Amino acid sequence: MKNIDIIVPCYNEQEVLSTFYKTTDEIVGAIKDCRFRFIFVNDGSSDDTLLILKGLRSTYDNVDYISFSRNFGKEAAMYAGLSNSTGDYVIVMDADLQHPPILIPEMVQAINEGYDCCAAYRTNRKGEAPIRSFLSRQFYKVNNLLTSVKMPYGAVDFRIMSRPMIDAIVSMGEAERFSKGIFSYVGFQTKWIPYTNVERTLGVTKWKLRSLLKYAIDGITSFSVAPLHLVSIMGCLISLMAIIYGIYIFIKTVIFGVDLPGYASTVILLLFLCGVIELSLGIVSEYLARIFVESKNRPIYIAKENTLEDSEK
């Protein structure tokens, strides 16, 4: 008998939670030789999510939940679930049924075949804002170019993982977490299964353009220092060009005397160099900010309620 925990981060998901539980429980209930338990993580919802979770817990005996003191973000919610799980395997999935529970039997099949992990990827992005798909594709390109942790385009946070893999992930205690990178960084044999994108029918997406941008920057700065190398290379090249240009001006002045016109080239050069300096400072600051956040060593989440701890007492 395998114990499998299903971790579900929830932020304002009151419309979908009951349907999610019923649909998923019915599917996993039919899987033999496995005992499933749901660990919902209420990420500081302002709607009735917690109330619904309490209701589910009192009605069904395979429901546990952790409730945060405020919104800490999906990454923190996933971490809370993983670090509190005790199952031999863990499934991570969204509450909005965009991660089709019907894939779970196939995932369990993969671990029976001996894989440590089975993860899903989308083959299309139907129903998503075109600007989001476009930016997302660019992000994967840049990310896979700059970092050594490769992520297939379309990879989502829907996966099953073995205990050794979960322990490895939890041991990475960074505060600014980028799970897609962490999943790939820890290694382990992963089977990828495709699925066609499902549109959200209940509730609304919680992602904003701004949080996606932060997500992208986190992704790159978590796993690559290539931008910092770029800054040094840029600095060297520009200094070299400045020296050559300096020598050229010096010789020109000595031979032809002082020549005043040159306003345009001066301004262009000035603007260009200022831009480069600003950009470099920005890149360095991104890393500095990460050091700042990590050095404070604050907890990744703060829970107000945790039924998993209650039951241990």
Q: Note the residues at the interface with Mg ion (CB under 5 A).
A: 96, 98
CA distances from 179 to 100, 249, 300 (A): 20, 53, 13
Answer for which of 18, 62, 71, 109 binds ligand UDP (CB under 6 A) is 71
Q: Which of 72, 35, 131, 90 is nearest to 300 (CA)?
A: 72
Answer for which of 52, 77, 82, 118 binds ligand UDP (CB under 6 A) is 77
303 binds ligand UDP (CB under 6 A): no
Nearer to ligand UDP, 70 or 252 (CB): 70
Helix axes 263-296, 226-256, angle to 10 degrees: 160
If binding means CB under 6 A, how many residues of this protein chain bind ligand UDP? 16
Answer for which of 14, 24, 73, 103 binds ligand UDP (CB under 6 A) is 73
197 binds ligand UDP (CB under 6 A): no
CA distances from 308 to 5, 80, 83 (A): 12, 11, 11
205 binds ligand UDP (CB under 6 A): yes
Answer for which of 57, 125, 163, 206 binds ligand UDP (CB under 6 A) is 206
Nearer to Mg ion, 98 or 147 (CB): 98
| Cβ count within 10 A of residue 112 | 11
Nearer to ligand UDP, 41 or 186 (CB): 41
Nearer to Mg ion, 25 or 96 (CB): 96
Amino acid, single-letter form, for residue 195: Y
Q: Starting from the edge strand earliest in sequence, which strands make up the sheet with 34-42, in order?
A: 190-195, 117-122, 155-162, 89-92, 2-10, 34-42, 63-68, 303-306
Stretch that binds ligand UDP, among 72-80, 173-181, 188-196, 259-267 (CB under 6 A): 72-80
* 47-55 long-range Cβ contacts below 8 angstroms, 24+ apart: 47/12, 47/14, 48/14, 49/10, 49/11, 49/12, 49/13, 49/14, 49/17, 51/14, 52/14, 52/17, 52/18, 53/10, 53/17
94 binds ligand UDP (CB under 6 A): yes
Nearer to Mg ion, 207 or 272 (CB): 207
* Residue 86 contacts residue 162 (beta carbons within 8 Å): no
DSSP annotation of 94 reads -
Stretch that binds ligand UDP, among 70-78, 163-171, 179-187, 259-267 (CB under 6 A): 70-78
Stretch that binds ligand UDP, among 73-81, 136-144, 216-224, 281-289 (CB under 6 A): 73-81
Q: Which of 8, 185, 13 is nearest to 81 (CA)?
A: 8
10 binds ligand UDP (CB under 6 A): yes
CB of 27 to ligand UDP, least distance (A): 17
Stretch that binds ligand UDP, among 3-11, 25-33, 253-261, 287-295 (CB under 6 A): 3-11
15 binds ligand UDP (CB under 6 A): no
* Residue 301 contacts residue 7 (beta carbons within 8 Å): no
Q: Which of residues 27-56 bind ligand UDP (CB under 6 A)?
A: 43
CB of 303 to ligand UDP, least distance (A): 13
Question: Scanning the structure block, which residue is given the tokens 């699925």?
Answer: 195
